[in-house]
Amino acid sequence: MNCEEYEKLLMRFGQLTNREEEELRAHAAGCPACAKVLEFIELEQRWIKRLCPQNRCMQRH
Protein backbone atom coordinates (compact mmCIF):
# COMPACT_ATOMS: atom_id res chain seq x y z
CA MET A 1 0.00 0.00 0.00
CA ASN A 2 1.27 3.51 -0.71
CA CYS A 3 0.49 6.70 1.19
CA GLU A 4 -2.26 7.68 -1.21
CA GLU A 5 -4.18 4.42 -0.69
CA TYR A 6 -3.56 4.77 3.01
CA GLU A 7 -5.21 8.18 3.07
CA LYS A 8 -8.26 6.81 1.26
CA LEU A 9 -8.68 4.14 3.92
CA LEU A 10 -8.17 6.69 6.67
CA MET A 11 -11.10 8.72 5.39
CA ARG A 12 -13.32 5.73 6.12
CA PHE A 13 -11.74 4.99 9.47
CA GLY A 14 -14.31 3.45 11.81
CA GLN A 15 -16.05 1.72 8.92
CA LEU A 16 -13.16 -0.39 7.69
CA THR A 17 -13.21 -4.14 7.39
CA ASN A 18 -10.75 -6.05 9.56
CA ARG A 19 -8.63 -6.71 6.52
CA GLU A 20 -8.53 -3.05 5.53
CA GLU A 21 -7.60 -2.06 9.05
CA GLU A 22 -4.80 -4.60 9.04
CA GLU A 23 -3.46 -3.12 5.82
CA LEU A 24 -3.73 0.34 7.30
CA ARG A 25 -1.70 -0.65 10.33
CA ALA A 26 0.84 -2.52 8.22
CA HIS A 27 1.51 0.67 6.26
CA ALA A 28 1.66 2.79 9.41
CA ALA A 29 4.23 0.39 10.87
CA GLY A 30 6.62 1.22 8.04
CA CYS A 31 5.75 4.85 7.45
CA PRO A 32 6.26 7.22 10.42
CA ALA A 33 4.36 10.10 8.81
CA CYS A 34 1.25 7.98 8.30
CA ALA A 35 1.60 6.44 11.76
CA LYS A 36 1.35 9.94 13.22
CA VAL A 37 -1.89 10.62 11.36
CA LEU A 38 -3.37 7.32 12.51
CA GLU A 39 -2.46 8.12 16.08
CA PHE A 40 -4.24 11.44 15.82
CA ILE A 41 -7.38 9.94 14.30
CA GLU A 42 -7.58 7.19 16.90
CA LEU A 43 -7.31 9.79 19.64
CA GLU A 44 -10.09 11.79 18.05
CA GLN A 45 -12.32 8.71 17.76
CA ARG A 46 -11.76 7.92 21.41
CA TRP A 47 -12.86 11.45 22.33
CA ILE A 48 -16.02 11.20 20.28
CA LYS A 49 -16.92 7.92 22.00
CA ARG A 50 -16.26 9.38 25.41
CA LEU A 51 -18.28 12.54 24.81
CA CYS A 52 -21.10 10.75 23.12
CA PRO A 53 -21.20 6.98 23.75
CA GLN A 54 -24.21 6.24 21.55
CA ASN A 55 -23.28 8.77 18.89
CA ARG A 56 -26.53 10.54 19.64
CA CYS A 57 -25.16 13.99 19.02
CA MET A 58 -23.90 12.95 15.59
CA GLN A 59 -27.36 11.81 14.55
CA ARG A 60 -28.90 15.02 15.77
CA HIS A 61 -26.65 17.35 13.77
Q: Does 10 bind Zn ion (CB under 5 A)?
A: no
Q: Does 3 bind Zn ion (CB under 5 A)?
A: yes
Q: Which stretch binds Zn ion (CB under 5 A): 9-17, 18-26, 32-40, 49-57?
A: 32-40
Measure the CA–CA gap between 1 and 16, rounded to whole angstroms: 15
Task: Report residue 15 CA to chain centroid gap.
Answer: 9
* Least Cβ distance, residue 22 to Zn ion (angstroms): 15
From 10, 16, 31, 35, residue interacting with Zn ion (rule: CB under 5 A): 31
Contact yes or no for 58/51 (Cβ under 8 A): no
